[in-house]
Amino acid sequence: IWHCSHGLVVIMMCYNDAYEITHSMEEIPQHRLIARHVATMAIATKSCGWTDPLQRPGFMAGASAHHPPCSSNNSRIFLASVPYTPREHHPAWCRVLENNWIRIVNEYNQLIANPFNFSNVGNGRRGSGHDDHLVVSGRSWKEYVLFGTGAKDGDEDAPFTKQLLRINIPDAISLAEAGGGEVIFSVLSPRTRIKSHCGPTNLRYTAHLGLVVPDNARDCRIRVRDAWHSWFPGKVLLFDDSYEHEVRNDTDETRVVLLLRVWHPQLSGMPQQQNVLLGEAMVRKEAEVKKRFHPPCG
């Protein structure tokens, strides 16, 4: 039994309990600091796979030999945790995106010419992120899905961008098609924020290619763990979204990025391991949703 500074009494029994408590707290902004306290307690009791209170994914492949993983099936997988990858350590495909960003933004401009091509994030049209609308504060966060659930068949909508990704970043395509995170054009309206949250798993990295970026970089930025970063046109940001992160567009301009997910570098080129771990993550997610919204009777 732990007594935290906010006067709550928390009984830590297992990883599922810790995740359920923190997840429910994160839905209320003023309770998010308490979520960190709960995560710290769970880590101290070694009752979960978390090792950092600012990294609280719903499914975490074992991050340390000193902490049990979330599933006995991935006990031999220890994924290095790096919140943000500096440019000097970017993989080669990041340069490919940057070298071709003008042609990518041109295809975005063709699509946005018809605003009905874009839908609100979290509208249920794609396989993941059904609750993403809950973290939006302000005007709107919209998307156009290129790969994954909700994407159009064929390449006619964005032929250059889709072919570029297929050839140079097959990891992003395989992850999207497996249900681990879509590839999208992500459009954040002026005066809009995406509240602090953690991604669902540490099996992937997230990349943002800046396409349309407000002039005032200080008022349009992203926090990953405890550090703030800004977008720049034609430049890639690469980070692990299983860490706590938030986005703020406090300008009067729209921010647009090409958003894609790739397998964690230690899982790249390992399709069998990818399938096993992603399958476990999906089973855990389904169980959590069922437990939360369809509790047992009696």
pLDDT in tens, 11-22: 444 445 555 555
> Model's pTM, two decimal places?
0.82
Is residue 126 classed as helix, strand or coil in its secondary structure?
Answer: coil
The confidence score (pLDDT) of residue 285 equals: 74
What pLDDT, on the 0 to 100 scale, is given for residue 7? 46
Indicate the burial class of 135 (C-beta count within 10 angstroms; 0-12, 13-18, 19 or more): buried
The predicted pLDDT at position 58 comes to: 83
Angle at 75 between CA 72 and CA 79, to 5 degrees: 135
pLDDT tens-digit series, residues 25-41: 555 555 666 676 676 77
Q: What is the mean pLDDT of residues 149-172?
A: 96
Spatial CB neighbours of 7, under 8 Å, sequence gap ≥ 6: none
The mean pLDDT of 247-263, rounded to a whole number, is 97
CA dihedral 274, 278, 279, 285 (to 10 degrees): 170
Q: Which of 110-124, 166-180, 206-220, 278-292 has the lowest mean pLDDT?
A: 278-292
**H helices of the chain, where?**
15-26, 32-44, 92-99, 101-112, 159-168, 170-177, 271-293
Alpha-carbon span 182 to 179, nearest angstrom? 7
Residue 111 and residue 26: Cα distance in Å, rounded? 34
Kindly provide the residue ranges of all beta strands, DSSP E only, lying in the chain, ordered along the sequence: 2-3, 9-10, 84-85, 119-120, 136-137, 141-147, 183-188, 192-197, 204-212, 220-224, 227-230, 236-239, 245-249, 255-263
Tell me the range of 8-12, 16-20, 119-123, 214-218 where mean pLDDT is highest.
214-218
What secondary structure letter does DSSP report for 41? H
Kindly state the DSSP code that residue 154 receives in the 8-state scheme: S
Position 80 scores a pLDDT of: 87
The predicted-structure confidence for 271-298, as pLDDT tens digits, reads as follows 888 888 998 888 877 766 555 445 554 5
Q: Rounded mean pLDDT of the chain?
A: 82
